[in-house]
Chain A
Amino acid sequence: MTSPVELVRAMKEIVGEQHVIHEQNKLHVFSCDGYVARQALPRAVVSPANTEEVAAVVKWLHEHQIPFLPRGAGTGLSGGAIALNNEVVISLARMNQLLSVDFENLRAVVQPGLVNLTLTKQITGDGYYYAPDPSSQSVCTIGGNLAENAGGSHCLKYGVTTNHIVAAKFVLPDGEVIDVGQPYGDAVGYDILGLVVGSEGTLGIATEITVKILKKPQAVQTALAMFDRVEDASNTVSAIIGTGIIPAAIEMMDQLAMQAVDKSNFHVGYPPDIEAVLLIEVDGLAAGVEEDAERVVEICRQNHVRTVKIAESTDERALWWSSRKMAFGATGRISPDYIVQDGVIPRSRLTEVLQRITEISRESGLRIANVFHAGDGNLHPLICYDSRVPGETEKAIRVGSEVLHVCVDVGGTITGEHGVGIEKIEDMRYQFRDEEIEAQIAIRRAFNPNDLCNAGKLIPEPARCVEVKQARRIIEQNVEVFSGFQEQTAVTAPDSTS
């Protein structure tokens, strides 16, 4: 066993005295991320300055069999950066540089700690931007976006993080540094980058990330449409897409969400008697965008919109977007506590699923506000509860799970962009069969054989694995006896219980 003193000394030798936090009172900041329902203290927080330091830290921890996990801004919503095993947290916050930009080839190379919006701000003067735009983009990091395969409001047209990251320098859980992906064209061989993006820090740590940058669209038009009935709003979404226009974004909020955002600093003044509001944005060449916007307005009218309006100024557009992007935070103004969920459904099932959510809300007695990326069918039900009422937290978690199961039942998924982390790890079993979970564990084993890197996140253990684990423990406790045929036992153990 490595003593805490040895650990801290070794870490300080690699990253420097001032970049290691180990005092209990200072570690509390790192006890959770954007998911606050669970907390755990890391044994230390280490902030390396570059790839070499990350590799050296990981190598040392691997050699001493100490668990670790990477952390960006800590804004993740599913608990992926919580040190459940008292991991050493490797904070990428210091690695926040834009390393290079190549406008002619539409690429930027960034360190993982660079804030998403900062990248766009640094290239906006030249007319470029980075497309994925999670609501937290003013604080979340590109490294965190890579780990979570973050989405955002504009991924209907432009795709999610995995469509925008093309290559990365990647530190494997044993400290080896590899290159994944290819800045142009395809990487030769298996798409390792494809596995790494969205792996929630369980396969290793990206230390240099090459992303696509895009030219800013010449023109943007944004419409705000208010509907008496949710069904009409849903039909509008389908009709717009059916007509052949892919808007840059189509966002929807229901009445409760409107009430919440109107209590925030961004007051739009939504009428209290409408059921749904749509925020629809089209972009492209100026010559054609106006026509698309007119089309959108016309389709809203055909679907019984109460009022529809095109933003007259950038200020008005910014207000509408701020109102939408503040939705999660604003929920705090109508409820002491809330859980934000992240299911995805086929767009055509929207009305039906919203009805189910209303029923779940009524049955449980908990209010649910709905904010979502309607174009993608990505729902964010905000389940309101009061943690001071005994049992209500558990009830809210149960309700969240129920909502996700509805999404899976109609052919969707439990998470579209927030990740599984620890929050939805049990819901994975609802979506995937045991052998599918086993197949994902096999991938983790290929990268992370000792399971030191963010263990216990993303992929649950298959039911039968509990027995296997017991067998493994016996093997581990009797290493000398079994060491002669370790490989054989590794192969036979799972089969013996199947």
Chain B
Amino acid sequence: MLQTGSDYPAVLVEPADEAQTAAVMKRASEAGWKVKPIGAGTQLTGEAPGERVHIVLSMGRMNQVLDFSPSDLVVTVQPGVTLSELGRVLTAEQKMLPLDPWLPAASTIGGIASTAASGPRRALYGGVRDMAIALRVVYPDGTVIRTGSKVVKNVAGYDMTKLFVGSRGTLGVITELTFKLRPLPLHRETVLLFGSAEDIRLMRSKLVGSVLIPSRAQALSSFDEPTGVWMLAVDCDENERSAQYQTEQLKAWATEQSMSADVLQGSAADDWWEAMGEQALGADLVVRLAAAPTNWHDLAAKVAEFATRYGVDVRQSWAVTLGIGEVFVRGLAPELATQIVTELRTAATRVNGTVVIKHASAQVRQGVDPFGPIGRAGVLFERIKHQIDPGRTMSPATFAGGI
């Protein structure tokens, strides 16, 4: 069940609180045991295989919402809280944490922060780094550090929160997270536009050059649709009148381009997005690409061309205002998986983009680096790792650049 990427047996430890976490880390550091912190374990299939781990530190028991102040738009949680549970608590007070990565419902907030996972709503609200304002982190030697501050603006000292967000458990164990929140949109409306990839390329251009305020703008190709059919889903989180205006504008453009359009409102819109996320879960390989948004169309064509060449089931989902794409592949031989990652990486690198594996079998991740080249900032990775984790206790060799 636990895919730690290790063939060696490891001990699963489930601390009840921060003090236990610190005690485990202190012992492990002293003894030279390697430790891998995990949440629900839904994203371990995106890491480099890594070195032998002695302790898998599961944060699942630390699953409380510690403090929720709706009037301050701030919430503090333990890492083991699932995104869906947190959503329930926040919705009750008409608030939201606009993080919507396409991951299983069991995914924890600690895991999402550690991998900096993001979804379609990033188009308007940004990613984990934009929402996390404070953390508590247990260092490898058992020291507990607070980063940031539980208020929405803070520049006291280095912004250490950002260092730990996305560090994949290679620096410390996150034991508490504080996020700034947003009001739940007063009105929810999604416009679906259907056409070719070229239609959507033109539509994207109009959208970005306009005053419209898309809170999600996702181009999707489907497993179920015949090849070449795409859909662009555009959301509006503004009030009802604004949403109507946005919808009318999009529909007018659709008519100009002879695209068909469909409008979803309220819970129907929510359900639709949820279904999209669930559809993505069955894939054998998930790859994330990022490049200038104007490149999305060329990269998507590369993916489609590969799929046609080898007759594989490929679905694509592109945040077209951000230039971030996810490719979901079903029923793919490991050799082909390695090949598609390599080919896409070559194509993306040519336009200064990146390709990382989000999900693949251990065999695939042994054949190709899940993270790819790290660039010149990489000189600092080792130095920072050495300052915080000189004994290389934390998740060794599982992250970018062999960290």
Contacts and interface: CB of A to CB of B under 8 A. Distances in A.
A132 to B, nearest CB: 12
Given A104-B294, A179-B377, A347-B72, 7 more contacts: A163-B126, A182-B354, A186-B127, A191-B116, A418-B155, A419-B155, A440-B160
Contact of B293 (A105, A431, A440, A458): A105
Nearest to B152: A376
Given A184-B322, A446-B384, A159 B126 contact: yes
B162 interface: yes
B149 A241 contact: no
B155 A178 contact: no
A285 B205 contact: no
Contacts of B388: 439, 442
B129 interface: yes
Interface stretch (A116-124, A286-294, A356-364): A286-294
Interface residues of B, number: 93
A435 B154 contact: no
Given A178-B376, A186-B166, A188-B372, A105 B294 contact: yes
B156 A189 contact: no
Interface string B291-316: 11110000000000000000000000
B71 to A, nearest CB: 5
Contacts of A445: 387
A163 B130 contact: yes
Contacts of A286: 245
B155 A443 contact: no
Contacts of A483: none
Nearest to B390: A491
A243 B94 CA distance: 9
A348 B72 contact: yes
A373 B153 CA distance: 10
A149 B245 contact: no
Contacts of A285: 211-213, 238, 241-242, 245-246
A105 B292 contact: yes
B231 to A, nearest CB: 22
B143 A435 contact: yes
Interface stretch (A250-258, A382-390, A406-414, A472-480): A406-414
Contact of B153 (A151, A178, A289, A439): A151
A184 B292 contact: yes
Interface of B: 69-74, 94, 116, 126-127, 129-130, 139, 143-147, 149-163, 165-167, 182-186, 205, 208-213, 238-246, 288-294, 321-324, 352-354, 356, 371-381, 383-384, 386-388, 390, 399-401, 403
Contacts of A377: 72, 151-153
A338 B50 CA distance: 57
Contacts of A347: 71-73
Nearest to A418: B155
A194 B126 CA distance: 14
A285 B236 CA distance: 11
Interface stretch (A1-9, A58-66, A91-99, A195-203): A195-203
Contacts of A105: 292-294, 323
A217 B294 contact: no
A90 interface: no
Contacts of B146: 432-433, 436
Contacts of A415: 154-156
Contacts of B94: 244
Contacts of A288: 238-243, 245
A241 B73 contact: yes
Nearest to A200: B155
A287 B244 contact: yes
A195 B154 contact: no
A424 B239 CA distance: 42
Contacts of A192: 377, 380
A155 B114 CA distance: 26
B126 A431 contact: no
Interface in A455-483: 458-459
A306 interface: no
Contacts of A245: 183
Contacts of B209: 103-104, 215
A190 B387 CA distance: 14
Contact of B158 (A179, A188, A417, A443): A443
B322 A185 contact: yes
B163 A443 contact: yes
B201 to A, nearest CB: 11
A184 B353 contact: yes
Given A190-B381, A192-B380, A285-B211, A428 B156 contact: yes
Contacts of B73: 241, 347
Interface of A: 102-107, 127, 148-149, 151, 155, 159-160, 162-163, 172, 176-180, 182-195, 197-199, 215-218, 238, 241-246, 284-289, 291-292, 344-348, 373, 376-378, 411-420, 424, 428, 431-433, 435-437, 439-440, 442-447, 458-459, 491
Contacts of A284: 213, 238, 242
Nearest to A242: B71
A437 B323 CA distance: 38
Contacts of A238: 71
A378 B153 contact: yes
A190 B380 contact: yes
The 9 closest A-B pairs by CB, nearest first: A185-B290, A194-B162, A288-B242, A287-B245, A189-B400, A416-B153, A218-B211, A244-B183, A413-B149
A85 to B, nearest CB: 20
A154 B386 CA distance: 39
B156 A162 contact: no
B4 to A, nearest CB: 21
A8 to B, nearest CB: 31
B159 A376 contact: no
Contacts of B322: 184-185
26 contacts: A102-B292, A148-B155, A149-B159, A155-B153, A163-B126, A178-B379, A180-B377, A182-B290, A184-B322, A185-B288, A188-B356, A190-B400, A198-B158, A215-B209, A241-B73, A242-B70, A244-B186, A345-B151, A347-B72, A373-B153, A376-B152, A377-B72, A413-B151, A413-B154, A435-B144, A491-B390
A428 B156 CA distance: 7
B152 to A, nearest CB: 5
Contacts of B71: 238, 241-242, 347-348
B380 A178 contact: yes
A346 B74 contact: yes
A439 B211 contact: no
B129 A194 contact: yes
Nearest to A411: B150
Nearest to B182: A246
Nearest to A177: B376
Nearest to B372: A188
Contacts of B144: 435
Given A189-B401, A189-B403, A184 B238 contact: no
A354 B274 CA distance: 45
B393 to A, nearest CB: 16
B338 to A, nearest CB: 18
Given A159-B130, A344-B149, A446-B387, A190 B163 contact: yes
Contact of B211 (A107, A155, A198, A215): A215
Contact of A246 (B183, B289, B383): B183
A198 B155 CA distance: 6
B150 A184 contact: no
Given A163-B126, A442-B388, A420 B153 contact: no
Contacts of B390: 491
A286 B238 CA distance: 11
Given A163-B126, A412-B149, A440-B157, A190 B384 contact: yes
Contacts of B372: 188
Nearest to A104: B294
A443 B384 CA distance: 7
Nearest to B71: A348
A246 B237 CA distance: 11
Given A186-B166, A197-B159, A346 B213 contact: no
